[in-house]
Amino acid sequence: MIILKNCFSALIIGCWLFFSCTFTPSALAQSTDMLEIATFNVESPRFCNGETIVETNPQIVKKRFEALAGPALWALSEVPDKDTAEIYAQAASYPGSDFKVIMGTKGRCQDKLAILYDNERMSIVGREQELVDEVGGDRDPLAVRFKLSDDTEFWAVANHFARGNEDSRNSQAKKLREWIERQTLPVVAMGDFNMDYSVDPSLNSRRPEGQCRNRDLNKLGNKAYETFTTSSDIRWIQPKCLSDGTCPIEGTGCFLPCFNSILDFVFLGGLASSDWQGTSEIGFKADRDYCSLDPEGDTDHRPVLATLTYPIRTRPIIIPNTSVKIVEIFPNPLGNNQVETQNEAITIENLGTEAVDLSGWKFRDVANQMWNLSGTVAPGERVEFRRNGQSMALNNNGDTVELLDATGNIVDFVKYEETFEGEIIAF
């Protein structure tokens, strides 16, 4: 059941008794094939309009985290600074957890992105990055590659698409979709996407005339939503309340009368995400007074919480003392992505005394993508295999590569960390 720590009030405790999803701390869970996550626009305390205006009070907003303690990963929008993110990380903690903060640097004034994660459940592979060239916008998406305690790896991407600039929002949707389509690891994309997916289209006809600035309120999602979800590699983990009609009338934002829409989303994407599944729900959905607390210093968004399930790969036993070994990896050739797709390379060597037929042999990475091998490697011979457009990518910020024989046994494997362009890694 949900852990409630120093809850807001009897009202909040009562509303969560009716919340349909449960979130058990991952550190206490019996299975390691489940990941609980959340996305939350905490609303920046200050806006840059020539004067300082206190919109939210982090000491009030943190009580929302305390009431929801359980998710091991949070994507936050509109965080003013790292000190505030640390307050939320402490509030999100649960017994046995060790939350860390990754703070974005891009964003106007006090409006930054942040990721909170339980370091007992997952660790960073390589370094975090802001997708400046790939996506752009006022708040470049914050992308982090994580490895879970069972060695499963994935990308977590915190996002906040443009609200007032439709062209910018549409461009961000297209470019982030294209970035996700290039990834060989599963991608969990979270945040305030401002995609305006209607909770109940019938409500749109009852808007006060002249108050909604000519928005097209009858569409299920705006142009950015349509652009982003055209990819077969990207799936929206829809809140359950959309199907049973129990979503808050405001959706995830407190902006009536002009909005009754989902602004905050959780998506799964990437070539390796087909085996990942999930369910989600809008936090505090039964609290009808949630939005009334906004003027008192609370945030004007509801969080979205999701439970993701993923397969734990059972690997075959490594054969000891096999003569064929991986001796070099070239993950980051000079040039663009097209060059890398062709020229990434792995070199093997036969250290034995007999030739080895490589028919049916493969390289495999942690995302279960592969290169097919062929030919014969003679005793003492080294052979380089280039990617030549095959699906497995050698990630520039670190990866694990296994060498499989024709029966699927792992005969060798190597791990490497972040690489520089043109660097050859020898083992």
Of residues 369 and 269, the one with the higher pLDDT is 269
123-155 tens-digit pLDDT: 998 888 888 778 877 788 999 999 998 888 899
> Could you tell me which residue, 256 or 28, shows the higher pLDDT?
256
CB 137 within 8 A of CB 164: no
Residue 29 pLDDT: 33
User: Contact 294/300 with Cβ under 8 angstroms?
Assistant: yes
| CA distances (Å), origin 409, targets 160, 323, 366, 413 | 44, 14, 15, 11
Question: Across all residues in the chain, what is the average pLDDT?
Answer: 83
- Is the backbone of residue 213 left (phi > 0), alpha (psi -120 to 50) or beta? left
Phi, psi values for residue 237, rounded to 5°: -85, 90
Domain ranges of the chain: 10-309, 324-426
For residue 47, which phi and psi values (nearest 5 degrees)? -115, 150
Four-residue CA torsion sign, 70, 73, 77, 79: positive
Judge whether residue 401 has pLDDT over 80.
Answer: yes
What is the CATH code for 10-309? 3.60.10.10
Q: What is the largest CA-CA distance in the chain?
A: 85
Report the pLDDT value the prediction gives residue 321, as an integer from 0 to 100: 59
- Assess if CATH 3.30.420.40 describes domain 324-426: no
Instruction: Read off the pTM.
Output: 0.73
359-390: per-residue pLDDT in tens? 999 999 877 789 999 999 999 999 999 999 88
pLDDT band, very low/low/confident/very high, at 264 (cuts 50, 70, 90)? very high
The edge-to-edge listing of strands for the beta sheet with 398-404 is 370-372, 362-365, 398-404, 410-417
